[in-house]
Structure 1
Amino acid sequence: MRSQALVSTRTAIAGATGNAVVMGVAGVSTPLGWVLLPGLLGVSARPRVAALVSAWAAVLLAASVVVPVVPGHRADPWALGASAASLAAVPLLAWARRRRTERAIARVPAPRDVAVFALPAGTGRAALAVCRSPGEVAAAVPLRRGGLRVLVGVAHGATLARPERTRALESAFRREALRRGRSLPAIAGTLGHLVRDLAPGGYLAATLVEVSPDGRVTLLRHGGPDVAVRAGEATRPGELPDAGPLGLVEPGASAAGATGVEASAARTSVAGPPAGARRLAVAPAAEGAAWHRLTAEALRSPRAVDAVVALTGRPGGGRRTGPALVLDLPPERSA
């Protein structure tokens, strides 16, 4: 499960270039003016992108000194050395930031045909299983202070179910989930718009989950997968309202602002787990009552990682089917 950088390669390079132009035109010659913005952009990107941004910023800095068409960076050794040291540190800082994020997502031992990841989920814990079955779409994004957003879904339609299309959906979810102020309906609107762009006629049956840092859980169901909850010794369906699969709404619905038909439906389907829930599962349903029996057995597992592996199994054996998510909810936030 990859962590997602806050800044894309294109944005970081454009920002470093724009900063150099502004500093040159404004006649700013201090190292801080030439290095601060590229450094911030680099630290917010993947380590490889951070190294690229640092190298490009160094080229722009050197060009401003060697070809002083307009006032540029100071040419004295102290100023050049300070900027060089700062730019060299940017990839290291980006690597350290990524390592902190990756430690929050730990891959745990599991059968060969399923990858299982343990994640913090507010004041509780979560486990996500990925089987890479056809059309599977799964992404988890740790947020600040222990929050979590997860997409669990299945793409339908030969075109949308292609690996490159499902990866595009996962990347879009990660990008939107990290944007400050984005609600689950707004994220769902963006995904619905992308589904229509990638594969008209296809659709994504998905459930979006958000866990706040204090453990509060909200769910948004768009066509599936099914939700089950365990309260006490009983397991029952989550009975979430369903806003319909993403990509099957009116094309006029606005994805960016989550308005129109799709957003109206999405707003009505945002909900929390039922009162008394201690464990929550999101997984594609098998046929008939077999899924309910398998789910009830899985949710009796002592650990979330064991439960999520059991959820990917099929009655009678065969290839595992995912994705599947299990949340262990703390008692004070189970209602």
Structure 2
Amino acid sequence: MRSGALLSMRTALAGTTGNAMLMGVAEISTPIGWVLLPGLLGVSTRPRVAALVSAWAGVLVLASVVVPVVPGHRSEPSALVASALALAAAPAIAWARRRRRSPAVARAAAPPDVAVFAMPAGPGRAALAICGTPGEVGAAVPLRDGGLRVLVGTVTGPALATPAGRRAIELAFRRHATRPRRSLPQLVDALDRAVRDRASAGHLRATIVHVDRSGVVEAVRCGSPDLVAVTEGRAGFAGVPEGPVIGLSATTGPVTPGRIASHRVAVVPDALGNDRVVLDEVARDDDPAPAAQRLTRASGGGRRVGPVLVVASRMP
């Protein structure tokens, strides 16, 4: 899960190149002058970008030694070794930083016609099932504080229902959902802009679920079915207010988040939303992954329908 705070590859490489040019023009030959900025840029970005930044900084260091048009990095073996160790450490630190701050999203065991992803959700767990249903959109963003944000829905329209269109919506959600101060209505506004920028004729029916670090669940509905909530072993609809469809110009007005006082919540597609079997399935299984997998198939069998989200969260 990418963070919007991380530097882009272009910015990191430009900074590394500019630093080398400045060091050469200023006739600074100490290793720290050549590797300090690339190292800081490396640990501030993704591990793969950090490795590329370190490699490019190493090339610039060697170029300043082999082709000394202007005085460059010191050529003594000890100076070169010091710079090599510093540049090698940057990707390792970036990787350790990412591992420490990014909660794990794991692929759960499932049949080949459905992909189930399990992830932390506050003190509990959640599972998102993706089935390849036409127009299906699903994205999960674990937050650094232990919370979780998930988008589940479907898109319509020739420009949105393509693989590229669906990916664009999912990427827009991931980019904005990582910002902890962005509220659910603000996320809906960001998705509305993404849909309108992508296609003038098309819209997104979706539910966005937020689980905070203590397990409190909130959700917004934008033209999508009501959520299923389990209370004292019985399942029923959560009663989350329905807002306007995202990207549909004929509708206006803000969405209203609904707090769900339940230890287990499920988001299911239209094809399953009013099925009594769905309520029973959500109520009887404490493990989100197998529950999400089963909920992708209607009681009559046939092709799986998704996306499906199941959250098992311990309320405070």
Give the drift of 1:130.
Answer: 1.2
Give the drift of 1:308.
Answer: 0.9
2-structure distance, mates of 1:65, 1:225:
65
1-structure distance, mates of 2:56, 2:294:
49
Deviations 1:167-203 (A, max 9, x none): 1222222222223533333333222212112222111
The answer to whether the 8 Å contact 1:8/1:45 transfers is yes
Question: For residue 89 of structure 1, what is the aligned residue in structure 2?
Answer: 89
1-structure distance, mates of 2:281, 2:181:
38
Deviations 1:21-72 (A, max 9, x none): 5555666654444334433443454443332222222233344555666665
SS, match of residue 170 in structure 2: helix
The answer to whether the 8 Å contact 1:226/1:285 transfers is no
Correspondences of 1:130-149 after superposition (within 5 Å): 130-149=130-149
Question: For residue 322 of structure 1, what is the aligned residue in structure 2?
Answer: 306
2-structure distance, mates of 1:20, 1:221:
51
Deviations 1:207-240 (A, max 9, x none): 2222222223222222225311111122121222
Q: 1:31 to 1:100 in 2, by over 3 A?
A: same
Question: For residue 257 of structure 2, what is the aligned residue in structure 1?
Answer: 270
Question: For residue 173 of structure 2, what is the aligned residue in structure 1?
Answer: 173
2-structure distance, mates of 1:133, 1:22:
54
2-structure distance, mates of 1:23, 1:231:
65
2-structure distance, mates of 1:139, 1:288:
20
Question: For residue 295 of structure 2, what is the aligned residue in structure 1?
Answer: 311
Q: TM-score, normalised by structure 1?
A: 0.81
SS, match of residue 289 in structure 1: coil
Is the counterpart of residue 4 in structure 1 residue 21 in structure 2?
Answer: no
Correspondences of 1:1-335 after superposition (within 5 Å): 3-4=1-2, 6-21=6-21, 29-65=29-65, 72-97=72-97, 104-179=104-179, 181-249=181-249, 265-266=254-255, 269-273=256-260, 275=261, 277-286=262-271, 289-290=274-275, 292-332=276-316
Aligned-residue CA RMSD in angstroms?
A: 2.9
2-structure distance, mates of 1:225, 1:19:
54
Q: TM-score, normalised by structure 2?
A: 0.85
The answer to whether the 8 Å contact 2:296/2:307 transfers is yes
Which one is further off, 300-309 or 48-57? 48-57
2-structure distance, mates of 1:25, 1:265:
56
Q: 1:204 to 1:71 in 2, by over 3 A?
A: farther
What is the total number of aligned residue pairs between the two structures? 314
SS, match of residue 266 in structure 2: strand
SS, match of residue 39 in structure 1: helix
5+ residue gaps, structure 2, are none
2-structure distance, mates of 1:185, 1:210:
11
Q: 1:76 to 1:97 in 2, by over 3 A?
A: same
Larger radius of gyration: 2
Give the drift of 1:129.
Answer: 0.9
The answer to whether the 8 Å contact 1:299/1:307 transfers is no
1-structure distance, mates of 2:91, 2:225:
39
Deviations 1:249-280 (A, max 9, x none): 48xxxxxxxxxx97x614xx12321x3x1201
5+ residue gaps, structure 1, are 251-260
1-structure distance, mates of 2:147, 2:22:
37
